[in-house]
Amino acid sequence: MSPQPHQDPAPPVPADPPHAEVIRTRDLTLHYGAVRALNGITLGIPRHRVTSFIGPSGCGKSSLLRCFNRMNDLIDNVRIAGHCEVEGEDVLGRDVDVIGLRKRVGMVFQRSNPFPRSIHENIAYALRIHGIRDRAAVEETVERSLRAAALWDEVKDRLDESALRLSGGQQQRLCIARAIAIRPQILLMDEPASALDPTATTRIEELILELRRDYTIVIVTHNMQQATRISDFTAFFYLGELVEFGTSAQVFTHPAHRQTEDYVTGRFG
């Protein structure tokens, strides 16, 4: 049995990072039925930076991530209280345009999920469902997105082939290309490399570092080394609580809380 982490008193709300915030939560609480997954989360996500969410399984990382683009709406018996603002708009309100929100806040999932269509059609179809039908605009966007996802040179001569014939790493980069085709402001990634081999993982990490110039990226990861390599800021969660948030350098080398230190050094998790 893994040793239980040292229990600190409830930490104060962390100070805001010295960057403009694109996402802000205040006292955000989430329940799945009777089970509380998040408890009063107050957090600011800085613009054009990579922010990692770390913590043991079941600590609320993915639940919080899904609040940012209302993906929790697809789960039964979810109750959310508090505030979650994207560019100053509280996106939890009943009158929010959820389709418009998901256009602004794209998402890449743990396992690649390309459509069973051609490589070209994976992106073109995503554009059409968002109302982009001009052929020249579609062709330009397909190429732009594949280039941005570092995939164009590998697939430019076989765009009509099925996306399912790509390798796992290529499929995940295609999903990233599909997500950025509609030019979101924010890109959410839920363990995007956990099912990939080390070489493919390296390509995804390099891509994330490139994309942060144009996007705010929030990534859930269990890989501590990955978080240190790619993220500017890190938030550590435990049992639905935000224990610590700060620059990744501070969280991993000089954590302010014993729970954080125990987790990042492998004493529990």
pLDDT value for 110: 87
- Where does residue 56 rank: exposed (0-12), middle (13-18), buried (19+ CB within 10 A)? middle
Q: How far apart are CA 258 and CA 238, in angstroms?
A: 12
Partnered with residue 54 across adjacent β-strands are 236
Tell me the per-residue pLDDT of 210-224, one tens digit each, with 9 for 90 and over. Answer: 999 899 999 999 999
78 neighbors 101 (Cβ within 8 angstroms): no
Which of 21, 98, 111, 88 is closest to 67 using CA atoms?
Answer: 98
pLDDT value for 68: 97
Mean pLDDT of 128-143: 89
Mean pLDDT of 63-82: 94
At residue 14, φ and ψ (nearest 5 deg) are -65, 150
Tell me the per-residue pLDDT of 31-63, one tens digit each, with 9 for 90 and over. Answer: 999 999 999 999 999 999 999 999 999 999 999
Report CA dihedral (203, 206, 208, 213) to the nearest 10 degrees.
-150
pLDDT value for 255: 94
Q: How far apart are CA 234 and CA 159, in angstroms?
A: 37
Averaged pLDDT score across all residues of the chain: 90
Mean pLDDT of 146-153: 94
pLDDT more than 70, % of the chain: 93
pLDDT value for 19: 63
Reduced 3-state DSSP string for 55-77: CCCCCCHHHHHHHCCCHHHHCCC
Residue 219 CA from chain centroid, whole number: 4
244 neighbors 14 (Cβ within 8 angstroms): yes
> Which of 7-11, 47-51, 231-235 is predicted least confidently?
7-11
Mean pLDDT of 176-200: 92
Residue 33 CA from chain centroid, whole number: 24
pLDDT greater at residue 20 or residue 246: 246
Report CA dihedral (53, 57, 63, 69) to the nearest 10 degrees.
50
Residue 191 CA from chain centroid, whole number: 8
107 neighbors 71 (Cβ within 8 angstroms): yes
Tell me the per-residue pLDDT of 165-174, one tens digit each, with 9 for 90 and over. Answer: 999 999 999 9
pLDDT above 80 (res 11): no
> Helix or strand or coil: residue 25?
strand
At residue 254, φ and ψ (nearest 5 deg) are -140, 60
